Amino acid sequence: MKIIAIDSSGTVAAAAVADEKRLIAEFSLDNGMTHSQTLLPMLDEITRAAGVKMNEIDAVAVAGGPGSFTGLRIGSATAKGIGLAAGIPIVNVPTLEAMAYHYWGDDRLICPMMNARRGQVYTALYRFVVCSDGRCRAEAVLEQDAVDVREWCEKINLLGERVVLLGDGADDYRDILEETLRVPFSFAPLHMNRQRAGALACCAMTFLADGKTETAAQHRPVYLRKSQAEREREAAMKAAGRES
C-alpha cells in the first residue's frame, strides 16, 4: 500500500511518499514562501522523482490540524482534490500526533507545541505504548488544546515525568518553558523540531491499519479555536448589540 502524506499546518510545507516498509521520498521546505506557491509543485516533483503514478496511490494522508488556518485550508483542499481525482480515502492525522512520531518508541512524554500567538500554544502530550496487537502507538496523556504556555507547564509539572519538547512553540516560548518547568526536559534537535511528512506518513500507516479513513467529502480540518476574523466579527456584533 502506497500513500502520499502532506503537511502545510505550520511554516513548513512537507510531502512524502511511503509504503508499509519504507519512506520512498520526502520533501520539506521552510523558506517563507506561501504553501499555495510550494505545495502542488512539491507534490508533482516528489511523485515524479519517486517514480510513483497517482493511480498507484492507495490513500492520501494530511495533517488535519491544529495549525495555521490558511495552511490547514490549503492542505485540506489539496488532500480533497487528490482524493476526489484518484478515488482514494483520506487519512486525517492530527498535526500534533504526527509530530510526536518523530520520537516513536521513546519512553519519555512527547510534547509537540505550535505557536498559537498571544502567549498560547497548540499542544498535546503523548506517550508511546505497545498495544495487544504488538504495534506501538501514540497515546494522548493530555488531549490537544489551545492553551496558555505557563498553564500548560503546570499541567506537565503535575505529571512529574521526563518530557521532550518540539515545534516552533517550544522554540518561541523557550524562556518561559525553562523558567516554569520543574520536571526533567529537553528540546528536540534541529532535524526533529518541525513538522515532517515522513513522520506523518508513519502515523498514517497506523491509522490505516485501524481503519481510520474518511472520504474527501467527509474531510474537515480541526482548528481548535476560532479564526481572528471570526473573533473580530463576534466582537463587532456584541459591540453593536450593546449600542442598539
User: What pLDDT sits at residue 132?
Assistant: 75
Q: What is the mean pLDDT of residues 122-131?
A: 94
Percent share of the chain, pLDDT over 90: 86
pTM of the complete model beyond 0.85: yes
- From 33, 4, 7, select the one nearest 167 (Cα to Cα): 7
Kindly indicate the confidence band of residue 244, based on its pLDDT and cuts at 50, 70 and 90: low
Whether the per-residue pLDDT at 233 is higher than 70: the answer is no
Kind of pairing between the strands at 120-130 and 136-148: antiparallel
DSSP 148-197: EHHHHHHHHHHHT--EEEESHHHHHTHHHHHHH--S-EEEPPGGGSS--H
Superfamily in which the 96-192 domain is placed by CATH: ATPase, nucleotide binding domain (3.30.420.40)
Whether the per-residue pLDDT at 164 is higher than 50: the answer is yes
- From 78, 83, 104, select the one nearest 14 (Cα to Cα): 78
User: What pLDDT sits at residue 119?
Assistant: 94
Query: Domain residues of the chain, as ranges?
Result: 3-95+195-230, 96-192
> Hey, do 3-95+195-230 and 96-192 end up sharing a CATH topology, with the first three levels equal?
yes
CATH number assigned to the domain covering 3-95+195-230: 3.30.420.40
Q: What is the mean pLDDT of residues 46-70?
A: 95
Whether the per-residue pLDDT at 122 is higher than 50: the answer is yes
